[in-house]
Amino acid sequence: MPRNMIACITLRPSYPAWPWAVEELDRTAWRCLHSGSLKLVQRTTERDGRPVLDTQGILGFWVDTRFVIESWVRVDHLPPATQLLWFGVEIAYWRSEVEWWTQNPDAWQQAYAPFTDHVKNPRTHREALRQARQEVDHALRRAWAFAACHRLSVGQDVLNAGIQFAPCSVQMALL
């Protein structure tokens, strides 16, 4: 096990307490720190009777007497303008996926060949690339709809999230 993972596991009991009880988090919205993806949670109960947050998969876990959530941020209590910025994280993530699949056309074969019984299947790579592009479009549409609902404008920081501009194109744009 990597040393940083062991440190993370041993530090879990010392994580700061939340300002909410697990019971108060039913029907709340959370964003992933890495991908910006949105999850709406429901409070359910584990077999041992302790409450957990379910998102079609458990959002956190119990460490001793504390419920711990890692890599997720609660966003439903934030001002709408701040929530809108999280769409930029999601858009940037999916654009990086599009770029990665575009630059690595054989990645699917290399990653999944040991686990599949078929020879190279170009459809799987195209499917992954198509899905990533589709997710960018969906995230942009959700950002526009959220902004319209809250009478906000979608800023360039959200619209251009994840786009890498070449230095010459930026200079050309400034002229």
Q: What is the pLDDT of residues 15-70, one digit of tens each?
A: 666 777 777 888 888 898 889 988 888 887 777 777 777 766 667 777 777 777 77
pLDDT reported for residue 112? 59
Please state the pTM of the whole predicted model. 0.73
pLDDT reported for residue 72? 84
Q: What is the pLDDT of residues 107-122, one digit of tens each?
A: 766 665 555 555 555 5
Using CA atoms of 122, 125, 131, 137 in order, give the dihedral in degrees to the nearest 10.
-100
The answer to whether 25 and 43 have CB atoms below 8 angstroms apart is yes
Q: Report how far residue 146's alpha carbon sits from residue 148's, in angstroms, rounded to the nearest whole number.
A: 5
pLDDT reported for residue 60? 73
pLDDT reported for residue 8? 46
pLDDT reported for residue 110? 65
pLDDT reported for residue 92? 93
pLDDT reported for residue 100? 86
Where does residue 91 rank: exposed (0-12), middle (13-18), buried (19+ CB within 10 A)?
Answer: buried
Report residue 5's pLDDT band, with 50, 70 and 90 as the boundaries.
Answer: very low
